[in-house]
């Protein structure tokens, strides 16, 4: 018998009275951006948040997407004033598009009204229902170990827009266990882990499936043919776990 999975979405929206500063448009202006940030609680790790304008067809491409989310589920996005629908998705096969199928994690859309330059807190808290049993995943995710490092190209320049994927097996196949946020202009990453252990990591700019021609990809190794293991204990942070990426040909 097929298992029906229903995901309920609970949200907390806290609108600040102050406007956004910095290099954004002036607060109160017609084009002032607002920062929407928050946390998607488990099982939302490695899930993706899709943002649509109200009225857009959910079967079409979103205005923007956020993710795959890191283990701690945190996210942040800047949007101009307007009404938007936020949807959380995690597809069992690792695809980043296409129809939602049985076994995928999903939520109903939540409408968010974005005002001129006013930040919004949006925390997503999901439930998975199997039959008449409902299991809560509302506990905030904590990490016990961390990897830090820098992603560079062959010339040693920092690479922006890639994520570090962590696996628990040397083949590094199927879906990664944990994924970092994308690197910034400095190429640095932080990968929070729920527990210490032995991991095999790679850096890439795409998520799901084997690397394709044109992708950026690189494994952590110590000059060996096989990926090198990264061993980290609970309570520890390993620094300078650097990876060099290349374009796949």
Give dist(CA 212, CA 106) in Å, integer.
Answer: 27
Cα–Cα distance list, 175 to 18, 110, 246 (Å): 41, 27, 21
Q: For 5-136, which CATH class?
A: mainly beta
* Tens-place pLDDT, residues 87-113: 887 765 555 555 555 556 666 778 889
Chain mean pLDDT for the chain: 75
pLDDT at 17: 31
pLDDT above 70: percentage of residues in the chain: 69
Does pLDDT of 84 surpass 90? yes
Give tens-digit pLDDT for 210-222.
Answer: 889 999 999 998 8
CA distance 214 to 205: 10
Length of the chain: 249
Neighbours of 107 (CB within 10 A): 24
CA distances in angstroms from 185 to 46, 102, 106, 161, 182, listed in the order given = 22, 38, 32, 8, 10
Q: Are the C-beta atoms of residues 248 and 214 closer than 8 Å to each other?
A: yes
In the chain, residues under CATH classification 2.60.40.1120 are 5-136, 145-247
> Model confidence over 14-33: pLDDT tens digits?
333 333 333 344 445 556 78
In this prediction the pTM is: 0.49
CATH topology of domain 145-247: Immunoglobulin-like (2.60.40)
With a CB cutoff of 8 Å and minimum separation 6, the contacts of 83 are 53, 54, 111, 112, 113, 114
Quick one: pLDDT at residue 240? 95
Q: How far is CA 144 from the centre of its chain?
A: 19
């Amino acid at each position: 018998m097929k298992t029906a999975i229903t995901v309920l979405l609970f949200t907390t929206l806290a609108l600040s009275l102050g406007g956004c500063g910095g290099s954004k448009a002036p607060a109160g202006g017609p084009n002032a951006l607002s920062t929407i940030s928050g946390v998607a609680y488990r099982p939302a790790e490695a899930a993706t948040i899709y943002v649509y304008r109200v009225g857009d067809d959910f079967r079409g491409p979103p205005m923007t997407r956020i993710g795959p989310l890191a283990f701690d589920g945190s996210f942040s996005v800047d949007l101009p004033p307007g009404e938007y629908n936020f949807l959380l998705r995690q597809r069992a096969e690792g695809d980043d598009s296409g129809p939602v199928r049985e076994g995928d994690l999903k939520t109903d859309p939540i409408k968010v009204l974005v005002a001129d330059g006013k930040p919004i807190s949006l925390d997503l808290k999901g439930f998975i229902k199997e039959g008449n049993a409902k299991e809560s995943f509302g506990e905030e995710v904590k990490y016990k170990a961390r990897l830090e490092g820098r992603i560079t190209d062959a010339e040693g320049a920092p690479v922006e827009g890639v994520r570090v994927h962590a696996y628990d097996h040397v083949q590094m196949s199927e879906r990664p266990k944990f994924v970092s946020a994308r690197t910034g202009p400095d190429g640095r990453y932080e990968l929070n882990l729920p527990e210490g252990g032995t991991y095999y990591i790679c850096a890439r700019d795409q998520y799901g499936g084997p690397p394709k021609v044109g992708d950026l990809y690189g494994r952590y190794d110590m000059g060996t043919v096989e990926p090198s293991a990264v061993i980290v204990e609970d309570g520890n942070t390993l620094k300078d776990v650097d990876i060099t990426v290349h374009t796949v040909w």
